[in-house]
Structure 1
Amino acid sequence: MLQITGVSRRFGDVTALADVSLEIRQGEFFALLGPSGCGKTTLLRILAGFESPDSGAVTLDGEDLLGRPAHRRPVNLMFQSYALFPHMTVAKNVAYGLEREKLPKAEVRSRVAEVLEKVGLTSMAGRRPQQLSGGQRQRVALARAIVKRPRLLLLDEPLSALDKKVRAEMQLELKRLQHEVGITFVVVTHDQEEAMSLADRIAVFSAGQVEQVDAPVALYERPRTPFVAGFVGANNLFSGRACSVGLAADGLGVLPGSSDLPDGTPALLAVRPERLRLDGGQNGEGVLKGEVADVSFYGGVSHVSVTVPGRAEPVLAATQGATPIRAGARVSLSWAAGDGVLVPQ
């Protein structure tokens, strides 16, 4: 549905976007994920019509999008700050865009009532924004964005103003609404959990470039670049050269992993903490041996940090529930070859 081809944008000496190309499908929930300053919001502003690229093309349903002014695009942007009108009621905020289009009053009333019911705010229609909670204001902003039935809805860090519990609830709500209204959503976020839980596919950005585009599970289990391996979720990264059974790591020997890289290729081996098996004592058959430096309990999961001779950074292992292992214990670490992913450096 949306085709972005070779889009670049510079601000003086800073390259915000460098030859970015993406395809976004009809009805898809698509996330742009990356650290602050990586160019994802610049791309969102180009799609909305608030920025113009220095080069490249963007088409929506095969038609040029860049040639249309912002107010003529079938695109809506939901701002990070929500940008609600404080002097208007909830219903008036939602109706504003329809009234500007000079639609019949009966149709405006009908569409506002319908969308307020969808977001669960029918009883709040007469209230003003300052009388609502953060989650309710977010729903008003969302209702105002979808009431005009855009082909494409852009969301800039939509949940960043909410506390953790409300954010988790709104993630479910956003996903449900997106399926219900059938609009294509493009969300910008630096929150990996948010992107993984919401999106059908994720584009990971770094320094103005797209590093990888994939479904959440594929992105997590099979990163294709060192940046993605280090940015998406926690990972233990070992440096060395590819060999037939995994990675020949400096000072650590041969570590098990799977790849199709030619032998001798400089590579990183990525092993997720939850894939590591911890055995007490130094006599186990572990791939690595070391000493527990720290144990942190996070409710359902314990993180065990292990200092390994020959490696500067500790190795992180995750175990379900509380663990009997304590700091100072000697342990061995092992993992299956299929759980280690080699990424070319």
Structure 2
Amino acid sequence: MLQITGVSRRFGDVTALADVSLEIRQGEFFALLGPSGCGKTTLLRILAGFESPDAGTVTLDGADLLGRPPHRRPVNLMFQSYALFPHMTVAKNVAYGLEREKLPRAEIRSRVGEVLEKVGLSAMAGRRPQQLSGGQRQRVALARAIVKRPRLLLLDEPLSALDKKVRAEMQLELKRLQHEVGITFVVVTHDQEEAMSLADRIAVFSAGRVEQVDEPVALYQRPRTPFVAGFVGENNLFGGRACSVGLAADGLGVLPGSSDMPDGTSALLAVRPERVRLAPADAVADAPGVLRGEVADVSFYGGVSHVSVTVPGRQEPVLAAVQGATRTLPGERVALSWAPEDGVLVPQ
């Protein structure tokens, strides 16, 4: 549906976007994920028409999008601050765009009622924004954005102003709403959990470039670049050279992993903490790929415990995630291992 080809944008000496190409499908929930300053909001502003690229093309259903002024695009942008009119009621805020299009009053009433029902705010139609909670204001902004039935809805950090519990509720709400209204959503976020829980596919950005585009599970399990391996979720990264059974790691010997890289290729081995097996040091015999070390720290997060282990020959501690509370204590000697298929090799 949306084809972005070779889009670049510079601000003086700063390259905000460098030759970005993406395809976004009809009805998809697509996330642009990356750290602050990586170019994702600049791309959103180009799609909305508030910014012009220095190079590249953007087409919507095969027609040029960049040649149209913002108000003529079938695109709506929901701002991070929600940008609601404080002097208007909820219903008036939602109706504003339709009134500007001079639609018949009966149609405006019908569409506003329908969309307020969808976001669960029918009972609050007569209230003003200052009388609402953060989550409710976010729903008003969403209702105002979807009432015009755009082909594409752009959301810039839509949940960043909400507290953790409300954010979790709104993530479910957003996903439900997107399925109901069938509009293509493109969301910008630096929150990995948000991207993982909401999106059908995610594009990971770094320094104005797209590092990887994939479905959430594939992105988590099979990162294709060192940046993605280090940015998406917790990871243990070991440097070395690819070999037939995994990675020949400097100072640690051969570590198990799976890849189709030629032997001797400079690579990183990525192992997720939940894939690391933790056992008392004397319970595991010496074998290739078994690391031994001392527990440096144990942190309990309710459903999971993180155990940091200092391993000789490695600067960074190795992180293991254990379900529930653990009896492992700082100072204990432990053995660490993982299955070969749980070690992913990434070219350096």
Confirm or deny a common fold (TM above 0.5): yes
Q: Which secondary structure state, in structure 2, belongs to the residue aligned with residue 230 of structure 1?
A: helix
Quick one: which of 313, 316, 322 aligns to 2:316? 313
* Cα-to-partner distance string for 1:257-289 (whole Å, 9 max, x where unaligned): 000000000000000000000086787886100
Quick check: 1:35–1:190 contact (8 Å CA) kept in 2? yes
Quick check: 1:291–1:331 contact (8 Å CA) kept in 2? yes
Quick one: which of 322, 327, 340 aligns to 1:324? 327
Quick check: 1:292–1:327 contact (8 Å CA) kept in 2? yes
Task: Flag the 1:291–1:323 CA change in 2: closer, same or farther, 3 A.
Answer: same
Trace 1:46-57 onto structure 2 (pairs within 5 A): 46-57=46-57
Q: Which secondary structure state, in structure 2, belongs to the residue aligned with residue 145 of structure 1?
A: helix
Tell me the CA shift for residue 231 of structure 1.
0.1
- 5+ unaligned residues in a row in structure 1: which ranges? none
Output the CA distance in 2 between the equivalents of 1:82 and 1:260.
48
Aligned length: 345
Output the CA distance in 2 between the equivalents of 1:300 and 1:126.
42
Segment of structure 1 superposing worse, 315-324 or 284-293: 284-293
* Cα-to-partner distance string for 1:281-338 (whole Å, 9 max, x where unaligned): 7878861000000000000000000000000000000000000000000000000000
* Cα-to-partner distance string for 1:168-223 (whole Å, 9 max, x where unaligned): 00000000000000000000000000000000000000000000000000000000
Q: Which secondary structure state, in structure 1, belongs to the residue aligned with residue 233 of structure 2?
A: coil
What is the match of residue 274 of structure 1? 274
Task: Flag the 1:71–1:81 CA change in 2: closer, same or farther, 3 A.
Answer: same
Quick check: 2:255–2:288 contact (8 Å CA) kept in 1? no
* Cα-to-partner distance string for 1:34-90 (whole Å, 9 max, x where unaligned): 000000000000000000000000000000000000000000000000000000000
Output the CA distance in 2 between the equivalents of 1:73 and 1:285.
60
Output the CA distance in 2 between the equivalents of 1:222 and 1:69.
40
Trace 1:119-158 onto structure 2 (pairs within 5 A): 119-158=119-158
Task: Flag the 1:204–1:229 CA change in 2: closer, same or farther, 3 A.
Answer: same
Output the CA distance in 1 between the equivalents of 2:289 and 2:255.
11
Quick check: 1:77–1:145 contact (8 Å CA) kept in 2? yes
Quick check: 1:38–1:207 contact (8 Å CA) kept in 2? yes
Q: Which secondary structure state, in structure 1, belongs to the residue aligned with residue 155 of structure 2?
A: strand
* Cα-to-partner distance string for 1:209-257 (whole Å, 9 max, x where unaligned): 0000000000000000000000000000000000000000000000000
TM-score (normalizing by structure 1): 0.99
Quick check: 1:297–1:322 contact (8 Å CA) kept in 2? yes
Quick check: 2:256–2:289 contact (8 Å CA) kept in 1? no
Output the CA distance in 1 between the equivalents of 2:339 and 2:285.
19
Output the CA distance in 2 between the equivalents of 1:21 and 1:280.
51
- 5+ unaligned residues in a row in structure 2: which ranges? none
Output the CA distance in 2 between the equivalents of 1:19 and 1:319.
42
Output the CA distance in 2 between the equivalents of 1:299 and 1:80.
31
Tell me the CA shift for residue 145 of structure 1.
0.1
Output the CA distance in 2 between the equivalents of 1:287 and 1:17.
43
Output the CA distance in 2 between the equivalents of 1:43 and 1:210.
11
Output the CA distance in 2 between the equivalents of 1:213 and 1:4.
13
Quick check: 1:281–1:330 contact (8 Å CA) kept in 2? no
Quick check: 1:286–1:332 contact (8 Å CA) kept in 2? no
Quick check: 1:280–1:330 contact (8 Å CA) kept in 2? no
* Cα-to-partner distance string for 1:150-169 (whole Å, 9 max, x where unaligned): 00000000000000000000
Output the CA distance in 2 between the equivalents of 1:245 and 1:285.
10
Quick check: 2:223–2:346 contact (8 Å CA) kept in 1? yes
Quick check: 1:294–1:304 contact (8 Å CA) kept in 2? yes
What is the match of residue 92 of structure 1? 92
Output the CA distance in 1 between the equivalents of 2:158 and 2:111.
23
Output the CA distance in 1 between the equivalents of 2:224 and 2:330.
34
* Cα-to-partner distance string for 1:3-34 (whole Å, 9 max, x where unaligned): 00000000000000000000000000000000
Output the CA distance in 2 between the equivalents of 1:45 and 1:280.
57
Q: Which secondary structure state, in structure 2, belongs to the residue aligned with residue 46 of structure 1?
A: helix
* Cα-to-partner distance string for 1:99-129 (whole Å, 9 max, x where unaligned): 0000000100000000000000000000000
Output the CA distance in 2 between the equivalents of 1:339 and 1:2.
35
Quick check: 2:34–2:190 contact (8 Å CA) kept in 1? yes
Quick check: 1:285–1:332 contact (8 Å CA) kept in 2? no
Output the CA distance in 2 between the equivalents of 1:26 and 1:213.
16
